[in-house]
Amino acid sequence: MLSYRHAFHAGNHADVLKHLILVQIARYMGEKPAPFWIIDTHAGAGRYALESEHARKLGEWREGIGRLWDTDGLPPAAVDYVEQVKMLNPDGQLRHYPGSPWLARQLLRDGDRLRLYELHSTDGKLLQEAFRGAGRQVTITAGDGFAGLKAILPPPPRRALVLIDPSYETRDDYTAVVKGLQEALKRFATGTYALWYPMLHKLESRQLPARLKALGAASWLHVTLEVRAPARDGFGMHGSGMFVINPPWTLEKTLHETLPAIVARLAQDGGARYTLESQSA
Q: Which residues are catalytic?
A: 165
Residues 6+ away with beta carbon under 8 Å from 258: 20, 75, 76, 77, 78
What CA–CA distance (Å, rounded) separates 266 from 90?
A: 24
Closest Cα to residue 213, out of 187, 237, 181, 239?
181
What CA–CA distance (Å, rounded) separates 281 from 272?
A: 31
What CA–CA distance (Å, rounded) separates 165 from 116?
A: 12
**Element (H or E) spanning 257, and its range?**
helix 251-266
Closest Cα to residue 242, out of 260, 225, 266?
225
Distance of CA 52 to the CA centre of its chain: 22
